[in-house]
Amino acid sequence: MAALKDRRFLIVTGKGGVGKTTVAAAHAVALAQSGKRVLVAMCNAKERLSAMLGCDLIGADVMRAAPGIWAVNMAPEQALEEYGALALNSKMLYSVLFDNKYVRTFFRAVPGLQEWALLGKAWWHTTETLADGSRKYDVVILDAPATGHGLDMLRVPKVIVDIVPPGLLRRDAERAWNMFRDPDATGVVLVTLPEEMPTTETLELARALTGELDLPIAQVVVNCVLPPLFSIQERATLEAAALQPVVTRGDAALVAAAMRSVRERVQAESLSRLATELPIAPAFLPLLLEDAATPSAIRELAKRI
């Protein structure tokens, strides 16, 4: 957590199904326990965070989810409305100008605008202050969309800065983009599994982030890591034996052991690739025997992360 504790904006992303929300929740709990005020922002997601934090269902309005933790499940249209009202400094003026079906249809058709509404809202929460001038949230954690969509979302402010004429939209995009590229303020957390396809996708995503976008990777978390039971030689022996014709009732145990051995081998190969090809050493979270979508499981992962 040393690489993350002083950053104001964390972007958690990875292939779908690798446990991004689980990792975001574990980071939120760990940071809150260290005294940080944390906001977790989801992108119009199928909501599972409430079960992990033990709170009411999280909707499009920011709510307190746990001690030191707030959460929001951002909806594109509401995020766009909030941004428009802030930009115009008047919710009433925004309603007069934009609250009709034709303008809303136009906005929905503008490429990247809904992604910017969500990303921009998450960024804007990092700028919020309390009455005494202190930050409302010490850390904002963006539970970003899965790899492809998440990468497209992160490209949007760069595109705005590159092609949009000077004005309000470009000004805010420049402020956000400068913050995203600042390794002292922002960090991308890549989440993966110790399996072949998620590993390959994670390496491709890391190359795009550091090469094309020049965004800082703060952490790589390998989720659901198994404790190894067999040595390399034992794995080879088990896998070879399992290929032989089944002749005894005891072979069921052999097959089970061989399946575990194969999984361990794939895991070892994946971890080796990640350690060799990534710019930073990966961190590991264990495969839990209990459901990870519970407050007790998240607290356990928060200790380990």
Scanning the structure block, which residue is given the tokens 């707030």?
70
Look at residue 261 and tell me if it is in a domain. no
Scanning the structure block, which residue is given the tokens 């539970």?
143
pLDDT of residue 101: 59
Look at residue 70 and tell me if it is in a domain. yes
Q: How confident is the model at residue 81 (pLDDT cuts 50, 70, 90)?
A: confident
**Strands 63-66 and 69-74: what pairing?**
antiparallel
Looking at beta carbons, which pairs linking 58-62 to residues 24 or more positions away fall under 8 Å?
62/125
| Both structure tokens of 138 | 């010490």
Over the stretch 87-126, which tens digit does the pLDDT of each residue have?
Answer: 555 455 455 445 555 445 545 545 577 888 899 999 999 9
3-state secondary structure of 62: coil
Look at residue 252 and tell me if it is in a domain. no
Name residue 41's beta-bridge partners. Answer: 72, 142
| CB 39, CB 62: distance < 8 Å | yes
Look at residue 1 and tell me if it is in a domain. no
Q: What CA–CA distance (Å, rounded) separates 274 from 270?
A: 6
| Both structure tokens of 126 | 């990092």
Residue 289 has pLDDT above 60, yes or no: yes
Over the stretch 234-250, which tens digit does the pLDDT of each residue have?
Answer: 888 888 877 766 545 55
Scanning the structure block, which residue is given the tokens 């989810």?
65
| CB 27, CB 4: distance < 8 Å | yes
Look at residue 237 and tell me if it is in a domain. no
Its domain, for residue 17, covers 9-228+279-304
Over the stretch 136-187, which tens digit does the pLDDT of each residue have?
Answer: 999 999 999 998 888 999 999 998 888 888 877 788 889 999 999 999 999 9
Look at residue 299 and tell me if it is in a domain. yes
Q: What DSSP designation does 287 have?
A: P
Helix (H) or strand (E) holding 195: none
Q: What CA–CA distance (Å, rounded) separates 63 from 80?
A: 19
| Structural domains of the chain, count | 1
Look at residue 273 and tell me if it is in a domain. no
Domain of 283, CATH number, reads 3.40.50.300
Look at residue 263 and tell me if it is in a domain. no
